[in-house]
A and B are shown apart, each in its own frame.
Chain A
Amino acid sequence: MSDITRLIIVAVGGQGNLLSSSVLGEAALLAGIPLRMSEIHGMAQRGGVVESALVFGNAQSTIISDGEADVLLGFEPSETLRALNKCNARTVVITNLSPLPPFTVAIGKGVYPDIAELQQIIRAKTARLIALNAVDLAKTAGNVLSVNMVLLGALIQTGILPVTADHVKQAIRTKTKAAFVDINTRAFDLGFETASRQ
């Protein structure tokens, strides 16, 4: 299993996680690393959760079982916490800290978890937690929609995936709109730097 790396990405529909999977797919192709992915996205446009599984290396499976993710990347803090079933004690977790409370909270059918407690729980149960406000960093980069690129930067900084920052930046140039390449690259760098300070 050693040459296989399993990454789970969870997000709320519309957060741009499918583009980040597509960028990673391109980066893996550039790096010559086999990559298989699967996505469940039937309800994405209607505010549901979108989960992607990315399996790097010589595996045949395209999905990741509970407890078997090497890395968990969460675009929304409560969704990161919800996906903790995919983790084990060696898993590295990266999460955006900017909440998108589900509608059930607004109609009084649930309480949004406390962000500080949420981080403590994840930190206590996994190998490493990188937590950053990707929305603020995306704004600093020049576009609030670059949240996905900020998180990719933090993900690559961990060094767990068999693709380099250069591969990903090259993939950003081919997979994202020309007008946004500079902002997206800046967002990636900001995410990378922020993760390296944690």
Chain B
Amino acid sequence: MHKLLTDQPGATMVLLGNEAITRGAIEAGVAVATTYPGTPSSEISLNFFQISQESSLYFEYSTNEKVALEVAAATANSGVRSMCVMKHVGLNVAADALMTLAYVGVKGGLVIITADDPFMFSSQNEQDNRYYGKLSGLPILEPSSVEEAKNMIPYAFELSESLQEPVIFRTTTRINHSTAPVTLGAIRDRVCKGDFTKDPFNYVTVPAVSRKLHVKLLANLDKAAELSETSPYNFVSGSGAWGIVCNGVSFAYLCDALQDLGIQDKVKLLRIGFSHPMPSKLIKGFLGSCEKVLVVEEGEPYMEEAVKAFAQEAGLTLPINGKSRDLFSRLYEFNPRLVRQVVAAYFGVPCKVEPMVDLSNVPEIPQRPPNLCAGCSHRATFYEVKKAAEGLSTIYPTDIGCYTLGFLPPLSMGDFLICMGSSAGTSCGFSKVTDKKVVSFIGDSTFFHSGIPGLVNAVFNNHNFTLVILDNGITAMTGHQPNPGVDMGLMNLQGYGQISIEAVVRALGVPHIAIIQPYKVKKSIETLREAFNFKGVSVVIAQEMCTLYAKGFKKTKSRAYYISDKCQNHRDCISQLACPAFFLDAEKVKIDPVMCSGCAVCAQVCPENAILPVKA
């Protein structure tokens, strides 16, 4: 049995934040979960995926976040408790659905998880999704710890059902990827079947209907504001004339800081866990009892702006500060030391600072950036594109996935990236206004997620570029999740369809289509060159299973390669391919036989044919 299905209320289990969120949903009787995977949210979905294989829970990896939210919008409006999981930028993709779903509302509870990523450990931006609460008019809940995350999820479902609105549950990486003991609660029975009652004048959002629904949304927002005033997740702790308003992980750093500074009896904390709508009466009362207030929140001054507005409404003139050059930044994430120092400085109390070691005479340490795996077929494709494009002036728009790492030297394949699916759309623009050859890259999962509309645009508007679709048969970057092109039979899972990328591209009417097997270097270069010479839209599909994923299916490892005495030390292998299985030993290139996957790409690149398979 999956550990998160353990039916032992009161038992303690050490859980990752993402496991705690999944467990909270199980305790709430969630019956449908949908997602598009994205760090730092991915483990929530992975656990749902596993649980769905041994229970009545319905889970799906949806094509993208918008589709995931639409699926959940329908199940929730059929009265079934549903959850939709995504990373913060995923909510941008789902935003079109979100904004009007807020008008329509839900019948069964719907909780939308948005995992924000301050410091961008694994994201392209660090946007603060609390603003989606304001933008959509939906309630937002934010936990401060792993245990609270678990407990807050059933509350989120109840809130959603009492307001008949979706609830946005916002985490940050340090909640998702922290581990702590969690006390298990009782598991509510899962109700998997619902019914949809026709009510087109409340469900079909033509202007006349939406004008009415907006009124309902604002009325709901007023109700939500009342609930926020008395929510157990908005609370005051401690006493004193100094006040701190905080949310999320900052609450943990503040609890430690007040203890370290010995000022627990001087400072009151107002922890906001129900952050949209903000509890205005609670905050005004809090401000009224303080001489001076500090707002501690990672990201944007979301609470600070609200708190200052409430102070104005209440006619209060006490100092309220948060984001400023001397206090907190809008950049990156906070840490306990930073929070302790800012609190001490703001309230004028001494802060003992342990001096960090002096790093001035530490020699420069070589960087260790993440790298495409040994034997990764993307490396081969990038090398082949580079060879095929020799003599051409090029622009390489890229996309989101493992292959983004190809932008690093020595491959240096990747010139522009803004979001999922942008490779195809931006290629249209670059090829229109420059005279360069545009070759762009997109992975299989990203192609299905949001690459197809860009390609449709290219065909319709007759653009001129080559899109290389890197089809490695899995969503590799986030940990090998399925996508619509994946053969689910390989995972011993039945009941799925499988969509051929080639058939999609043909159906779109792309005038030049070719397929390469990237481990065959010479043939691939020739095929790519033909595509580059074509005037118009060309697509090259590079088909080779992710080497890391393939390991799980292979009974025996392919023979590793080694560098024989014929080596003349040209180092084309290491300087052009940069496979991590290479290393230098006394100025000669060697291959680590444990890392080598036996792809043989380097053997085809070596000008001396010096790289040979290890004899059996």
Contacts and interface: CB of A to CB of B under 8 A. Distances in A.
Given A40-B121, A106-B584, A117-B363, A46 B372 contact: yes
Contact of A103 (B122, B338, B580): B580
Contacts of B335: 63-66
Contacts of B146: 36, 62
A106 B366 CA distance: 10
B256 A104 contact: no
B198 interface: no
Interface in B6-39: 12, 14, 39
A98 to B, nearest CB: 14
Given A85-B356, A121-B362, A106 B368 contact: no
Interface of A: 1, 12, 21, 25-26, 29, 34-43, 45-49, 59-68, 78-79, 81-82, 84-85, 87-91, 101-107, 109-114, 117, 121, 125-126
A46 B373 contact: yes
Given A109-B366, A109-B367, A68 B337 contact: yes
A111 B54 CA distance: 51
Given A1-B260, A60-B145, A66-B337, A84 B357 contact: yes
B362 A107 contact: no
Interface string B346-382: 0000000011111101111111111111000000000
A114 B364 CA distance: 11
A171 to B, nearest CB: 11
A82 B359 CA distance: 10
Given A78-B368, A106-B582, 8 more contacts: A29-B12, A37-B178, A42-B121, A46-B372, A61-B249, A65-B335, A66-B335, A91-B357
A113 B365 contact: yes
A141 B362 CA distance: 34
A110 B366 contact: yes
Contact of A38 (B174, B181, B253, B370): B174
A12 B180 CA distance: 24
B256 A61 contact: yes
A109 B495 CA distance: 49
A87 B122 contact: no
A41 B357 CA distance: 26
Contacts of B489: none
B410 interface: yes
14 contacts: A34-B181, A42-B40, A43-B370, A46-B405, A47-B371, A47-B373, A64-B335, A68-B354, A88-B354, A102-B368, A110-B364, A111-B364, A125-B358, A126-B357
Interface string B424-445: 0000000000000000000000
Contact of A85 (B359, B373, B409, B589): B359
Contacts of B174: 38, 62-63
B126 to A, nearest CB: 14
B615 to A, nearest CB: 23
Contact of B355 (A42, A61, A88): A88
Contacts of B578: 103, 106-107
A67 B337 contact: yes
A66 B356 contact: yes
Contacts of A35: 180-181
Contacts of B373: 45-47
Nearest to A118: B363
A84 B367 contact: no
Given A106-B582, A121-B361, A125-B358, A12 B372 contact: no
A104 B368 contact: yes
B549 to A, nearest CB: 11
A106 B145 contact: no
A143 to B, nearest CB: 14
Given A61-B252, A62-B174, A113 B363 contact: yes
